[in-house]
Structure 1
Amino acid sequence: MAMPLKNPAYAGAFVYGRTRMRDNIRTDRTPAKIARPIDDWRIVVKDRYPAYIDWPTYEKIRNIVSDNRAEYMRTKTRGAPRDGELLLHAIAWCARCGHKMYVRYKGGGEYVCNHLRSHAGLPTCQHIRAARVDAAVADAFLTALAPAEVDALSRARKAQSQVELALRTNAEREVERTRYAAALAQRQFNRVDPDNRLVAAELERRWETALIEVRAAEAALAEQTAARPSPQPPMGKALESKVVALAGRLPQIWADPATTDAHRKALLRCLVEKVVLDRGAYDITLVRIVWRGGAVTELNVKMRVNSVAKLSRGQEMHDRVLELVRAGIPDDEIANILTSEGHRSPNSADRVLPITVQRIRFAAGIKVAVQRTKWCHAPGILSANTLNCRFTLSSGQGAFLSGIVVLHGLPRIMP
């Protein structure tokens, strides 16, 4: 099976000029042969020999083999899926400079655009942590393969086929109409008396106009036929039900420990052509997924940062925390309120932690506030800190109470 992948004779074609000679400038060795692209082959005669595979299949196989080459940084191919945790290996592109990003597993795994630094001596374009980006792309992939999405895609394909068929039918009818009009004008011109020059000139002008309309209609039909993608065979009901059933089980297959990283990458590449990444100024990474077929999905992925000031809504959350603290609301309630308003902590993706509220409160110099402890007391029993605060405010002295001993349901103060 290795020969049909390389030799076009197995596709029934005679080919000449697949290679060219290149002189070795740096050495004195004999010139080396270099393979030409398939579009630069000098002579291609198809259907010359009995074919094992047709020519479109041969071109498809060549494209797959070329795309699986390991030199994906130089040739801009994706390479074969390999083992490794990072999901977007060889399909991640930089949105700033347009070059391919490579993966770096040191320090937890990240995507790095180092092309400008390697070739022009400029600083590194950008580097993005991979964990949350991979999770967002995987969720988008599994969502696109949900049973409802597969059913909707099937209906959309049927509707698109009907529209394309209607457009092609209209174009064919237009060509038929213009040809009939041209033939009618030709018959009228042939029947006219040659001595009647004015009538003959008018009929000749109408005939030329009809021929121009025929050529325009034929060109429009040919353009529509060339722009139309290759027809895909309709999916039968049995195959469609199997695809829907597989799509329903795909999340379990994806999360199965027996599924290797290479298998996940191969599944992802069935639908995703490439992923364009752009690290924003704050905590948002812009992810643009380019699906096979040209559709584009844009995502905003929230990244981890090391401070509240680096959040996109950090100042707004800071002011809101101080406002709620001055209103006497405990830290845990403030965290819940901020989470419901769409805020998040620097190290969390979807909620605000009470420790974040506490740090903002301490940084603002607000040390005393009504706080809740993890211990549940009876309504008539006070904690040591609460009793100490009350005693200090009432006596005006800096007394300190070390604890409370509860005996027979009554609090007793220990000096």
Structure 2
Amino acid sequence: MTDTTNKIGPSHLQRTAFVYIRQSSASQVEHNRESTQRKYALAQRATALGWSAQQVSVIDEDLGLSGAGAANRGGFARMTAEVALGHVGIILGLEVSRLARNNSDWYRLLDLCSMTDTLIGDADGVYNPALFNDRLLLGLKGTMSEAELHILRARLDGGIRNKAARGELRRGLPTGLVWGEADGEVRLHPDEAVVGALRAVFERFSEFGSARRVWLWFRAENLPFPLQLNHTAQIRWIAPTYTAIYNVLTNPVYAGAYCYGKTRQERYVDEHGALKTRLRRLPQSQWAVLIRDHHEGYLDWMTYEANQLRLGANTKPRPHQAGGAVREGAALLQGLACCGHCGRRLKTHYRGTNQTPGYHCSNKGIENGRGVFCLNVGGLQIDAAVAQAFLQAVEPAGIAAAVRAAERLEADHDAALAQWRLNVERAHYEAQRAERRYHAVDPENRLVARGLETQWEQQLRELEQAQAELARREHLRPCTLSAEQRKSLLAIGKDLKRLWDAPTLTLRDRKQLLRTLLEEVSITVHREQYRAHLKLRWRGGKLTDCEVALPRSRPATIRTDEDTIALVRRLAEHYPDATIAGILNAQGRVTARGLRFNQNLVGNLRRHWHIPCFERPTELPDGELLSIRQAARMLGTAPSTLHRWVNDGFIAGEQTTPGAPWRIRITDALRQQFVAHSPDGYVVMQEATKLLGVSRQTVLQRVKRGELDAVLVCQGRRKGLRIKAVSEQPDLFEHSS
């Protein structure tokens, strides 16, 4: 033990004594109580060395934290800061390993202690880091502490890896598998309902080929799914999620394999400079342990690998790679077609109002100074040729396919019914158990009896609901095929073309059927010969060549009707192309391709038929024609007033064709009808009707026919129509209304 009397000076006793307490895990804090009490007793040792009780500070904030790093140890960081400020006289710890388990933190603390003249004490004595011998001894202790941690971890990891290499290391198993009594023994879950639900996942995936469609099938059938958070928890039945279905399909333990080391822990520095750890999933080739056929599984290893390839093909493929799940659209070769010129994967497109499918290659070449696709072809003829080749290939098996389809439908329904029968059985057991618990309680203990009675009633309601759902689904069960029905299905199976074109067969089903046999379709287009060469590569390596004739020209000559051309010829003398387009659209006319007119289409039509464009006159003749807006600005009134006068016939308007803008010819007589003040002898409409003894509509009709003179007052608060006095119209009543 080192000498303590010569190292502790008055300057040390004037500062604070820190007692640092740490345990590496919460388990040690809970169970190693004796070691924790020894650490707290170091406060009494500090008083024995000369510090008062008020000067002793106990730092126990890092209980349950590892000493491998100082990143998350707030107590160690606070103590280091106090040492750097020169507020600490001595640091006491039970042993050096309690202060730090790595040399970077340990030597940083030693440097600060040597600069601030801070002592370090443990069970063996007191050390001054400023002295060479003490620093050498402390450095050796820190190195041994770090080496001890490495040796302990190496021993533990070695034992774990050795046991895992034999397949005997017991780790968490997914839902549906449990550990047996023997070393490394894994069994299927004893609950038949759990096993049935997991088997249904793999059976439906072999049929649908998509994890999402399996999840949708479970939701459509309203089937619950088992969930077990750990091996000791009870199975809970919940609504399935897509993640749960996907994890079942990708977990190799369900294929009877024992796996260890599928992930690797990596350390990195985040954007804030903090050291953190993350788990990195490793490829199968880098797994530490992979023992195939280790236990009984829900499927074999070859089927599991085929399922992984199928799941990988459902994701969005990388450029120039095949794959991709079956998606919407009428293009049957989506994800299968490739360019016969450059080998790239073809992309699909749809044109026209009918969404006609087509294929094009994204590789562009330069022709005449512009980029063009390597391949761009319609998909109707190509899809029909591939479908015909597919039907010819499956014709030998098509006769029995219809019967197998009906049997598969019946089997799928039976699988769902089996799950519902197991649900009823489980609900019946839960109801009986709740009943037994209710009868076992003391009747006088009403607090517990009421709770158990409520649980029993809840289980009875769930049992009743499960039985009702089972009865409904049994009623909807498809009937077993009779001999006559089987015979009729065999007759239908001979005509696969009619089955392929049936409206009940969706586009998704057609694409999925093609992918069961076809791996790739290479398309080479010969434009000069109006044909396309297809090379079909079937699963198994067989190749089939096919020639497809392409349409030579467009259907019939498309031409604009003569009435529209004649109307454009008349309108072009008075209006520009944009105005003509508005007039044609107002009359409901369309182009030869059924599109609405615009300025460009009118210009193209006019140039094609050599119709001269509209030119504005340089000099306006007497009585020039103006638009409604221009005439209203000149006459000092509103455009709506002119529109109303034109519609009522008070003033003359000109229109080239229905739908064309109205134009007004401005003359002196027209200007005289718009005045600022009412002339003498003109009265308002109300007085005119009283003098004439007729209605307002009659007066307006006579003004329109010219039997009465009228002017429009445009200024003042009493703007409006004025009618000439009756006294100046002696023959007024000679005309009928």
TM-score over 0.5 for the pair: no
Larger Rg computed on CA atoms: 2
**Relative contact order, higher structure (CA 8 A, sep 6+):** 1
